[in-house]
Amino acid sequence: MARPQAPTWIGGFHAVEAALRERPERVERVALSGRDDRRARRLQALAERAGVTIESRDEPWFDKLRSDGRPLKHQGVAALVALSQAGDEQDLAALLDGNDQVPLLLVLDGVTDPHNLGACLRAAEAAGVQAVIAPKDRACGLTPAARTTSAGSAERLPFFQVTNLARTLADLKARGLWIVGAAGEGPVSLYESDFACEPVVLVMGAEGGGLRRLTRERCDQLIHIPMAASVESLNVSVASAVCLFEFRRQRLAALG
């Protein structure tokens, strides 16, 4: 489904371990600092089983690595990996055609911060989401920082970037999925909604701006998260997690 891109450095134990477990054939080499603790030994064993070369590097070498123009967060471990690119509309259609579960998808409408994207991917995987969708333009892709923040979820959870998000939402609606947008002015409370057995697409807006007009118009329903009066809004990754885990709670309750 996803196509490999040019090798790049990723850092942190979660991200490197996930790459070694999920896509070992794409890991060219692993760099490790002089630490000799249980976590480092576990990672060494993973690399050795995958046949990946391990290099010993000092801290100044790690500190020179960059991700999205910023110092790479590494914890003394990094890997040079041919990372996968996002899938497209055709890949998304193929995934849905082969899906035998009640769909639960997350759409991110213009999230531009890679750390927010990574956190959304991590929450989505934990909540049982089958795919995350975002537009190609004016939105963050699977950058090294997003992958690191996702703690491995970016290597396991299907991620798609589409040319026209409004059209993609219309296509999902034609497949029988219920499009639910989260907005502060949504007339229905998250906790008054009932999506236990529904195929659902949760649509979250960008940081600050919220849902765009065309995206909002494609939603079948707008919901809001009830909050204390002193709180105006939540970070998009936190809001996504709150909504997704409520959907998951409803589904588990329906199963008895």
Q: Which residues are annotated as a binding site?
A: 205, 225, 234
Binding residues for S-adenosyl-L-methionine: 205, 225, 234
Is residue 52 within 8 A of residue 24, CB to CB? The reply is yes
Classify residue 31 as exposed, middle or buried by CB count within 10 Å of its CB (0-12, 13-18, 19+): buried
Classify residue 18 as exposed, middle or buried by CB count within 10 Å of its CB (0-12, 13-18, 19+): buried
The residues, ordered by sequence, that sit 6+ positions from 93 with a Cβ below 8 Å of its Cβ are 171
Q: Give the separation between CA 96 and CA 99, rounded to whole angstroms.
A: 5
Three-state DSSP at 204 gives strand
